[in-house]
Amino acid sequence: MTNRPDLPAEIARRRTFAIISHPDAGKTTLTEKFLLYGGAIQMAGQVRAKGEARRTRSDFMQMEKDRGISVSASAMSFDFEKYRFNLVDTPGHSDFSEDTYRTLTAVDAAVMVIDGAKGVESQTQKLFEVCRLRDLPILTFCNKMDRESRDTFDIIDEIQENLAIDVTPASWPIGVGREFIGCYDILRDKLELMDRADRNKVAESIQISGLDDPKLAEHVPAHLLEKFLEEIEMAKELLPKLDPEALLNGSMTPIWFGSAMNSFGVKELMDGLATYGPEPQIQSAQPRNIAPEETKVAGFVFKVQANMDPKHRDRVAFVRLASGHFERGMKLTHVRSKKQMAITNPVLFLAADRELAEEAWAGDIIGIPNHGQLRIGDTLTEGEAIRVSGIPSFAPELLQTCRAGDPMKAKHLEKALMQFAEEGAAKVFKPTFGSGFIVGVVGALQFEVLASRIELEYGLPVRFEPSQFTSARWVAGEQTAVDKFVAANKQHIATDNDGDTVYLTRLQWDIDRVGRDYPDINLTATKEMMV
Residues that bind ligand GTP (CB under 6 A): 21, 23-29, 51, 54, 92, 143-144, 146-147, 259-262
Nearer to ligand GTP, 261 or 529 (CB): 261
Report in angstroms how near the CB of residue 121 gets to ligand GTP at its nearest: 10
Please tell me what DSSP assigns to residue 25.
S
Is 401 among the annotated ligand-binding positions?
A: no
Is 146 among the annotated ligand-binding positions?
A: yes
Buried b (16+ CB within 10 A) or exposed e, 265-287: bbbbbbbbbbebbbbbbebebee
Nearer to ligand GTP, 110 or 332 (CB): 110
Is 5 among the annotated ligand-binding positions?
A: no
Rounded to 5°, angle at Cα 44 from 453 and 48? 30
Task: Please state the length of the chain.
Answer: 531
Nearer to ligand GTP, 253 or 259 (CB): 259
Report in angstroms how near the CB of residue 27 gets to ligand GTP at its nearest: 4
Is 194 among the annotated ligand-binding positions?
A: no
Rounded to 5°, angle at Cα 97 from 96 and 103? 100
Q: 441: Cβ–Cβ under 8 A, 6 or more apart, which residues?
A: 95, 396, 397, 398, 425, 426, 427, 447, 450
Report in angstroms how near the CB of residue 97 gets to ligand GTP at its nearest: 13
Report in angstroms how near the CB of residue 117 gets to ligand GTP at its nearest: 9
Please tell me what DSSP assigns to residue 264.
B
| Pairing between β-strand 387-388 and β-strand 522-524 as defined by DSSP bridges | unpaired
Is 527 among the annotated ligand-binding positions?
A: no
- Residue 15: phi and psi, rounded to 5, are -130, 110
Report in angstroms how near the CB of residue 383 gets to ligand GTP at its nearest: 42
Report in angstroms how near the CB of residue 446 gets to ligand GTP at its nearest: 16
Report in angstroms how near the CB of residue 303 gets to ligand GTP at its nearest: 18
Is 27 among the annotated ligand-binding positions?
A: yes
Nearer to ligand GTP, 67 or 144 (CB): 144
Nearer to ligand GTP, 58 or 344 (CB): 58
Is 341 among the annotated ligand-binding positions?
A: no
Is 93 among the annotated ligand-binding positions?
A: yes
Euclidean distance between CA atoms 521 and 191, whole angstroms: 63
Is 214 among the annotated ligand-binding positions?
A: no
Is 198 among the annotated ligand-binding positions?
A: no
Report in angstroms how near the CB of residue 46 gets to ligand GTP at its nearest: 13
Nearest Cα residue to 372 out of 496, 456, 497, 283: 497
Nearer to ligand GTP, 44 or 206 (CB): 44
Is 143 among the annotated ligand-binding positions?
A: yes
Nearer to ligand GTP, 125 or 207 (CB): 125
Euclidean distance between CA atoms 144 and 479, whole angstroms: 57
Cα 427 to the center of its chain, rounded Å: 20
Spatial strand order in the sheet of 315-323: 339-342, 331-334, 379-381, 298-306, 315-323, 365-370, 347-350, 353-356
* CB atoms near residue 289 (< 10 Å): 15
Please tell me what DSSP assigns to residue 444.
T
Euclidean distance between CA atoms 165 and 163, whole angstroms: 6
Nearer to ligand GTP, 259 or 505 (CB): 259
SS3 95: helix
* Binding site as annotated, residues for GTP: 21-28, 89-93, 143-146
Binding-site residue set: 21-28, 89-93, 143-146
